[in-house]
Structure 1
């Protein structure tokens, strides 16, 4: 196995999925809820998004759109196959949004302590979102 610092996001997501295969369906459902939450608050978020940030609101909501498309396209295969889960959701820039989803999931009551530790180990603990959004 590669050292953690040598792993890319797809490999980290695959390792997480292999370590916790029984939670992938729940995690996929959480990702779906996150896309819905961002869509429901899109107008507000765009209105308060900082102008001079590395990640623009258009870029962020492009990632949300990509994730929505992947969730529709791969549907149940995302939680039936650890490889599909990691390869499709965590490839390229989309990993930015998915990492944010993982960090948010780690803060929920549904996330057990071991998975929370694994998420923080593999993906860090700093929130990637650049503006606050109260959960509704």
Structure 2
């Protein structure tokens, strides 16, 4: 195994899936719920948006891209760490920034597994 500093987002997400396959359906459902909420309340989010790196419209676009991939590949993502990591964590695409953010927030606010929370902290916040 590579040192953690050498792991790509694809490597990290594949490892997370392999260690915690039971969390993946819950995580994907949470991401879809957040995407729906962003679209449903986009005017309110746009008015209060203060994330300087991206405009709200850019963030919404990333959410929509993630949503489309999850809707198309959800069953395969649940079964395969390779599909999960390749579809959501491609290094050629900014959607990974949205998904990384959602993984961290899912772990902090929704996961009941302390080990999953620690793994997310180790892999995605270093």
TM-score (norm 2): 0.89
- Check conservation: 2:88, 2:96, Cα contact below 8 A: yes
- Check conservation: 1:27, 1:105, Cα contact below 8 A: yes
Structure-2 separation of matches of 1:46 and 1:55 = 11
Structure-1 separation of matches of 2:111 and 2:124 = 18
1:88 aligned residue: 87
- Report the 3-state secondary structure (helix = DSSP H, G, I; strand = E; otherwise coil) of the residue aligned with 1:107: helix
1:70 aligned residue: 69
Per-residue displacement from partner, 1:19-49 (whole Å, max 9, x unpaired)? 1112211211111112112222211111122
Assess, with a 3 A threshold, how the Cα gap between structure 1 residues 111 and 37 changes in structure 2: closer, same or farther.
farther
- Check conservation: 2:111, 2:117, Cα contact below 8 A: no
Within-5 A mapping of 1:54-65: 54-65=53-64
Structure-2 separation of matches of 1:84 and 1:109 = 23
Structure-2 separation of matches of 1:68 and 1:34 = 9
Gap runs ≥5 in structure 2: none
RMSD of aligned Cα (Å) = 1.7
Assess, with a 3 A threshold, how the Cα gap between structure 1 residues 60 and 106 changes in structure 2: closer, same or farther.
same
2:13 aligned residue: 13
> How many residues are paired up?
124
Structure-2 separation of matches of 1:110 and 1:49 = 26
Structure-2 separation of matches of 1:102 and 1:96 = 10
Gap runs ≥5 in structure 1: 126-136
